[in-house]
Structure 1
Amino acid sequence: MTKDLKTAVTTALCLTAALPASGAVTFSLPSKVGTGGYAYAPLDPAPIGISFEFFAFPSYFINVTATQQCLANWKALTGVWPPIRIGGTTQDRAQYDAKTSAYVVYSVADAKDAPSVLTFGPKFMTLAGMYGGSVVVGLNRGKNNIDNTIAAAKVAVSEVKHLLAIELGNEPEYWVKDGQPITSGVNWTPATDAASQNNWNIRVGSAVDRTNIIQAGNWNDAPPKWGAAQLIATENATVKPHVRHYAHHNYPGGSIQSLMTHSTIAKNIHTFDADIAAARGVGKEYVFGETNSVSGGGAARVSPTFGAGLWTMDYALRATYNNMSRTYFHHGTVGNCQYCFWGRYSMGAPYYGAYAAVALMAGASHLTALDSGSTNYAAYATFDSRGLPLRVLLYNSDYFAGSGTRTAQSFTLTGLTSSMVRAKRLTAASATSRVDQASPPSFGGQQFDNGSCAISGTETFETTPASGGQATFSVKATEALLVYLQ
């Protein structure tokens, strides 16, 4: 069977195996960036990255074979290594020890536990410095030992070649509960945390002789109580030059269905509108410095599923569309991390969603959403350096759990300039499909091998004719389609 015939048969099977959900939804593709009344977000070269829990970072790069290849797969699409952030709860349990020859030193009763106390040495920063992409390094503020943190910051600046920023403290709103010394005898509020951040940002920035070096914020509780807008309002002319950008954490949670529903995703992202505007208003970027599906390492029945993978895709794209520069998906304890893209399971279904989002934005200069964010159906378009349409991603977030009839939604794109377009389909048997349960997704007919993250299978494009500048695509419930326009 020829490749073209095989593709045609595959496409026909996809169309006949599902019943139409409703009439086609139509999206008008703008001819160029800045036209059509859409909002356009400028794109970072690599808008999607990975956050590694502080104590686990060395293990991910030394002991987990898939790490380098999973990151390299994205580099192959974008031309640059994805950004990483090293931090999390254990960064505020970690003290720098200049004398240790180990990357990190700790003990736990069970390998699945995170340490309550740990130290790290210069080799930790040397390892971070070997990475080819940008690096955010999180350091301890909770212990209130600024001299120790400054010593670590100086090593970070000298050893981490692609150091983007230093983060001083992780989720400080929880420090009273955690018994962190910096809150002792203090009425710890957003205002006192802001004063602390400003002081530390100035002292650490001055000690390493760097401006534009601090990732500020780093809360998890939703704004406006804990957020960039309230922090920015407290900053004076001395602290502002040290801040590179502002970060927030976010773990939406919920069932698979609620998590992956497009309108719910859009609503969740809108929580950060005022914070993003405040950061942009002072000329700074805003990022999700740590995020994933469900807090605490994920939920076993939600986080490893294909539905969570589709959430990963749509969530990253909606965040980017709303002017978040980068989104760092958190990876926790190796071997005890339900939402990890790799490490807990040989491969996690969410990696597929992230890969599709990277593929949409790779090499693009701008992104827009063609939909309102109020329904189950999403459409995103990216544009090349000339401002011309590059790719479109269509997403049907109707929920399909694997039984009964799997409906399909027709998407019509207008404004096309070619007579034929190609597309790759992101699909799986159902929203509950999991790699570790022998039901992996596929993207364009390809998969990521367990253990190595190498791409396997024959790359498959579907072809759709366009007539009169428009084409119609069928996307099944719980599925996405990436359309290539060039």
Structure 2
Amino acid sequence: MPLLRPLFLLSLLRAAATSGVTIYDQIGQVTLAATGTQSAAAPAVTTAAAYNTTVLNPPPVPNPPPATAFTLELQAQASAVDGLSIPIPGTFFGFSVEMSVITQLCAFFCGGRDCGAPILTLGSWEKLVRVSSRAVIRRSHKSSSFVQVPLLNLLSNIRERAGAVNIRIGGNTQEFAYYVDTLPDGHAISKEKADTNNPTQTPAVIYTVDLFYLMANISSFTNVHWYIGVPFNDTSDFRFQIVEYSEAILGDYLLGVQVGNEPDLYTTHQHRTKPYDASNYTIEFGELNLLIGPSVSGTWSPEDVWDTGFITDYADSLYALSVEHYPTDNCQPIYNISIYHDPQLEFPNFLNHTSGVALCEPYLNSTAIAQQAEKPFLMFETNSASCGGFPGISDSFGAALWALDYGLQMAYSNFSGAMLHVGGQDVFYNPFTAPPTNQSMLFEWTIGAVYYSALVAAEVFGKTNTSRIIDLLGNDADIYTPQYAIYENGALARIALFNYVTDPTGATDYTATITVNGGTVPSSVTVKYLLSDSVSTKNNITWAGQTFGTVHEVDGRLKNDLNVVTINCDTSANTCAIPVPAPGFALVFLTQEESIETVTYPTTAHTNTKNTVTVASAVLATSNGMSGSDWELGSTSSGSKTSAARRTMAPQLGWSLGLMGLLLAWTLSGTM
């Protein structure tokens, strides 16, 4: 033993000379224990749009303000209500994930080593992933073997409320995607030079079969069902591998295949030569099954496509009809196209009921046509503004209210689903954002305001797939206080109440009194509130008293105690009074709410092995080394040679000498 200790000392010092060491309580440094648990706040190290700190001014209280008391007279049975929507699934709000960021969100590749992100390691493959009647087994250390735990948790939240989650993989980056057998180091996707003809200059995606195993593994944990986008830039070579592998590996988890992403913009993006119109698109469309189209964005109307015979020509192959639409754009600051939209001036446009109503009106004819054709009608991609959204709007509590209201209005307008778009670090509107790979050992995920919209919508519609919704137009159809009623299994089940006004005085809080015809109110109801201090805030949003945290703090699990409010009703008067703060949203449950117990997933791969040594500051402060109270870190990357890194050499030498003293004393004690 005495001989081994000097050898151990030398080997440890050699490692200390070449590897990073984490010190507890070091200023400006996140603390990582051996398990990779974050226990101290880290400074922001990026100004990417996803972490933008812009806070806008909330609009003033309307003049005159909305009435603060009104009555909603509701029917107990759906059969007595005219104008109810079609049955809406709990999966109504899904996510549209840009193909180029799929592995950043879903997997963390680390070449078979322990990773610096919270991930679920499937390397042992003790769990057999069942896809339809086939078993999928991956035994390699590839991207499909490392699934991001925060994503699994975020999807599980939706799954527990809705029964499943729908995700679309595609967007502009699907158009030039192509398959290869392998990529360097076992990656599932790679990217190459951007399409400079597209205003957002999105890259082409190169993918391997491992992408589909990754998707299948996620489905096995969280019951995700997928829409996949087919490359459509070259009609002489559709590159159908993406369809073949999706069908073979995803099986029943594959919902449908999108053919053409915003084809009405193809000539603008130089993907087709002029003239190219809806008739040309219809001719090119019909090569596959489970098809979704036309996914036009507004340059063509859907009717331009229906008039070509699109639906009758492809009725047997169509899974769903689709459109894509954003209410406005923020392209000018980044891409120097379109016109400039001042976020502060745009903000009020998102903070009233008129927005969602106006966005849905152009599609009412198409949703009726879809019902006649017995096809779902989908909003396949949407969010607050194209080209990444607005700072201060897209990531605010106001956006959470707007997206939820817009979603419920789409459901009332007989859409069957809507996909909230998810991009990379350079957009403001993400429902959730993974940290950059080189910062994943320091930071957790970041939640976006509209994720709360999707979470709440899942509870609005529930798991039965029988919910039908109606816009109540109460309070004299006031645009700042919209309300909806939800009927489930033919009976009144829930009421949704909005208040878009920000008023810290409480003077614009309102009380909606519910009364029921053909029945009576229950003795009590339960209410969940979506709340924040202002429509402008972004870091203190709560749903039923719980929050996911703020920037770089999200592991996908709700934090704090659940707060479900019980309100006693007056059964003799057949009334129930529900208060709604300004701003806020209330979901009123007239029947017993099903208990929600979200399954969360463990992390079995924790940190890169370079960051597993820890020394408590109390021990280090009393050693012969420096205290570490004013150390300056140079880099989070191994091998960095910056001047900042050189400035840290003296403290590191002090630490090494201090550690040498401790170990030398230990070594000598073993020889005495």
**Normalised-by-shorter TM-score class:** 0.7 to 0.9
358-367 vs 308-317, which deviates more?
A: 358-367
Name the counterpart of 1:340: 430
Please point out which of 219, 222, 226 is paired with 2:301: 226
Q: State the Cα distance separating 1:70 from its structure 2 match.
A: 1.0
1:218-367, aligned counterparts within 5 Å? 218-221=295-298, 225-227=300-302, 230-231=305-306, 233-235=308-310, 239-253=314-328, 255-333=346-424, 335-343=425-433, 346-364=446-464, 365-367=466-468
CA contact (8 A) 2:412 2:471 kept: no
What is the distance in 2 between the residues matched to 1:214 and 1:431?
Answer: 39
Aligned length: 439
CA contact (8 A) 1:51 1:289 kept: yes
Please point out which of 202, 205, 212 is paired with 1:118: 205
What is the distance in 2 between the residues matched to 1:88 and 1:216?
Answer: 13
Relative to structure 1, the CA distance from residue 114 to residue 452 in structure 2 (aligned partners, 3 Å threshold; closer, same or farther) is farther
SS at match of 2:365: helix
CA contact (8 A) 1:107 1:115 kept: no
CA contact (8 A) 2:176 2:205 kept: yes
What is the distance in 1 between the residues matched to 2:256 and 2:525?
Answer: 41
Name the counterpart of 1:429: 533
CA contact (8 A) 1:383 1:390 kept: yes
The C-alpha deviation readout for 1:154-184, integer Å capped at 9, x for no partner, is 111111231000111211111112221xx13
1:452-467, aligned counterparts within 5 Å? 452-467=555-570
The C-alpha deviation readout for 1:131-163, integer Å capped at 9, x for no partner, is 222110001112334342x23211111112310
SS at match of 1:266: helix
SS at match of 2:395: coil
SS at match of 1:258: helix
CA contact (8 A) 2:78 2:487 kept: yes
Q: Is residue 2:280 matched to residue 1:192?
A: yes
CA contact (8 A) 1:380 1:392 kept: yes
The C-alpha deviation readout for 1:199-237, integer Å capped at 9, x for no partner, is xx2x233xxxxxxx0011111116xx3315633642375
Name the counterpart of 2:543: 443
Name the counterpart of 1:10: none
What is the distance in 2 between the residues matched to 1:21 and 1:322?
Answer: 25
**Aligned-pair RMSD on alpha carbons?**
2.4
CA contact (8 A) 1:66 1:342 kept: no
Relative to structure 1, the CA distance from residue 295 to residue 332 in structure 2 (aligned partners, 3 Å threshold; closer, same or farther) is same
Q: In terms of Rg, which structure is larger? A: 2
Q: Is residue 2:57 matched to residue 1:22?
A: no
Q: State the Cα distance separating 1:317 from its structure 2 match.
A: 1.0
Name the counterpart of 1:140: 231
Name the counterpart of 2:575: 470
CA contact (8 A) 2:88 2:468 kept: yes
Please point out which of 262, 265, 275 is paired with 1:171: 262
Relative to structure 1, the CA distance from residue 226 to residue 126 in structure 2 (aligned partners, 3 Å threshold; closer, same or farther) is farther
For structure 2, the residue ranges without an aligned partner over 5 or more in a row are 1-63, 109-147, 195-199, 329-342, 435-444, 592-672
Relative to structure 1, the CA distance from residue 410 to residue 45 in structure 2 (aligned partners, 3 Å threshold; closer, same or farther) is closer
Relative to structure 1, the CA distance from residue 349 to residue 237 in structure 2 (aligned partners, 3 Å threshold; closer, same or farther) is closer
What is the distance in 2 between the residues matched to 1:434 and 1:460?
Answer: 20
For structure 1, the residue ranges without an aligned partner over 5 or more in a row are 1-18, 206-212
CA contact (8 A) 2:381 2:418 kept: yes
Relative to structure 1, the CA distance from residue 477 to residue 431 in structure 2 (aligned partners, 3 Å threshold; closer, same or farther) is same
TM-score normalised by structure 2 residue count: 0.62
SS at match of 2:509: strand
SS at match of 2:451: helix
The C-alpha deviation readout for 1:2-29, integer Å capped at 9, x for no partner, is xxxxxxxxxxxxxxxxx98425232222
The answer to which structure, 1 or 2, has the higher relative contact order (CA under 8 A, 6+ apart) is: 2
Letter in 1 for 2:521: T
CA contact (8 A) 1:448 1:455 kept: yes
Name the counterpart of 1:42: 87
Q: State the Cα distance separating 1:96 from its structure 2 match.
A: 2.3
Letter in 1 for 2:482: A
Relative to structure 1, the CA distance from residue 404 to residue 418 in structure 2 (aligned partners, 3 Å threshold; closer, same or farther) is closer
What is the distance in 2 between the residues matched to 1:83 and 1:341?
Answer: 14
TM-score normalised by structure 1 residue count: 0.84
SS at match of 2:566: strand
